[in-house]
Amino acid sequence: MNLPGSDRYTPTAIALHWVAGALILGNLAFGLYMVDLPLSPAKLKYYSWHKWAGVTIFLLSAARLVWRITHAAPALPATMPAWQRAAANASHHLLYALFFAAPLTGWLFSSAAGFQTVYFGVLPIPDLLAKDPALADTLKLAHRFVNYSLAALVTVHAAAAIKHHVVDGDDVLARMLPFLKPRT
């Protein structure tokens, strides 16, 4: 558990952050790549891989949330304005919501489209909805909107961390990068 006054996240929190972050960014990019490909056996294989990554992201997000609930985050710098603290808190809550909403809307879309997810080709994931092409169209748009929102918020999150390091000169970024030493 992070002790009060600790200046870094735990090694577990850091690992969960970067592994989940890499998977999320990779799956966002992969989704953009594959969506406009012509229908082919390769595209169907890519959709399976995309869904497997989505299930993995969902599971990692659950692990991250449990870890975060049971381990306090390091305190933000005392010099940080109140509005930035509020924005950081709100953006972290929204990030967690989107971490779950992205795979859930994909799962719902896949279910409504009539394509069951079989995790790594072995473990069938139950469909959440009956096949419904009209609903599938709506859920496809919802999945796209959630993922574009997630991409935008991840960009803002990374930019804010870099701004804190480069412009503000505080240790916000060092708390999550194992190779950066705190300045204080």
- 92 domain-assigned: yes
The tens digit of pLDDT for each residue in 67-105 reads 999 999 988 888 899 999 999 999 999 999 999 999 999
- 103 domain-assigned: yes
CATH of the domain at 17: 1.20.950
The tens digit of pLDDT for each residue in 137-168 reads 999 999 999 999 999 999 999 999 999 889 98
Q: Residue 51 belongs to what domain range?
A: 11-168
In eight-state DSSP terms, residue 132 is -
The tens digit of pLDDT for each residue in 11-24 reads 999 999 999 999 99
Total number of domains in the chain: 1
- 157 domain-assigned: yes
